Structure formats: C-alpha cells, structure tokens
Amino acid sequence: DGGITQSPKYLFRKEGQNVTLSCEQNLNHDAMYWYRQDPGQGLRLIYYSQIVNDFQKGDIAEGYSVSREKKESFPLTVTSAQKNPTAFYLCASSQLDEQFFGPGTRLTVL
Amino acid sequence: GESVGLHLPTLSVQEGDNSIINCAYSNSASDYFIWYKQESGKGPQFIIDIRSNMDKRQGQRVTVLLNKTVKHLSLQIAATQPGDSAVYFCAETGAGNNRKLIWGLGTSLAVNP
C-alpha cells in the first residue's frame, strides 16, 4: 500500500529542545517537501529536496534543518533557534507536479 | 511579487447547491494548476488539476475552469454535500525546472444541511 507516513501524529516538547519529525514515502518519488501550517492559515514551504543528497531552503527555513540521505526519507529537525515552533507540519512528495501529502504532525512546544 | 490568492476566505452553501471557489494568480508563465481539499487535522488531498493548454477539466462532481486572459482559476462542486466541508487550496507551478507549488491562502467551505 503506497503512501507517505509521518510520525508521530502528535508531539510535545519543552522549549529549547530540538525535535525531529519523520517523513517516509514508498512511492519512489524523487522530490520531497516540508510545509508548516498555522491555524487558519495556508501552507508555507520550509525545505524541499528534488533528489537524494540535495535540498534547498524554502520560504521559512530559519530554525529548521533537513537531510536527504535516502530517497524514501526526509526528516525535519526543528531546532531551538525556531522562535515559534508550535504548528502543524506537513510532508509531501512528488514525481511530477502533483504533490502527495502525509497526515501531518502536530507539534506543540510547552 | 508572484502570488496565488483567493477572492473569498469563507463560503457557506446549502446542501445540494453548487459551489464555486475562485482563485487569482499573477504569474502568466504558470503552466500547471491544482486544487486540494483539506479536512480539519489532515493533510491536503488532491481534487483536480489542469494544465495551461486547457480551459476546462471535469472530474466526479468537480470542474476546474482556467481563464488565462484574466489569470483566474475556479473550482466548481456540483450538488455540494456535507462531506465537502473543508478548506480548499489552489496552487500553481511555474514553467521551468523548479516545480515548486505556489499556494493560495485557502477558502473554507461550509455546507449547511
């Protein structure tokens, strides 16, 4: 059953701690993306990767880091430098233009 | 700057009526447009897409219209059902190798029984 998985669904962290969000896809897609969504808002691009071992900053990359060591995986680390990390994080992948989304991770920083 | 925007942030319709959600874009070089539906607490789901060489495309109960003259995109939902209640996003992709989606702000559709 092909798709994108994100884990965990809900994540709680203390302020000042780094946290890594998982994103895995078995669709054999080359490109992967991370978005942030705040309540009642649209999607803002954090980072994207068009191929393994390569990634680019999106519109709001400050305070975040990523890696793309494997085609299937694109983990996102929310660092302590991110001033307002509480949000809904969405991962997506694509081979052509249509992006396929995971179920999201809701991160709450206490 | 280049952007995709929506005319209406919220739309309320009666069950069974047709819904029309509008979207404006500013990049005349965009060649691909897509609509997503997002239910509360979930990831966006693909609804329908259209390329710039087309004016209209139909799916099951949904139709997307593209007017390149005025840079306008619309999503029509026929016989709207309570399950259609969600936020709808339009997005565009520019020409060239960078195929990032540029997202609109979203329209919340509420279907009244």
b/e map A55-81, b = 16+ CB within 10 Å: beebeebeebbbebeebbebbbebeee
pLDDT digits (tens, 9 = 90+) for A5-55: 999 999 999 998 999 999 999 999 999 999 999 988 889 999 999 999 999
Q: Is the pLDDT of residue B14 over 70?
A: yes
Residue B7 binned pLDDT confidence (cut-offs 50, 70, 90): very low
Contact B22/B72 with Cβ under 8 angstroms? yes
CB-CB: which of B42, B93, B105 is closest to A97? B93
CB atoms B41 and A104 under 8 Å: yes
pLDDT digits (tens, 9 = 90+) for B38-71: 999 999 999 999 999 999 999 999 999 999 999 9
| Residue A55 in tokens | 């990634």
| Residue B31 in tokens | 């060649």
pLDDT digits (tens, 9 = 90+) for A50-90: 999 999 999 999 999 999 999 999 999 999 989 899 999 99
CB atoms A97 and B34 under 8 Å: yes
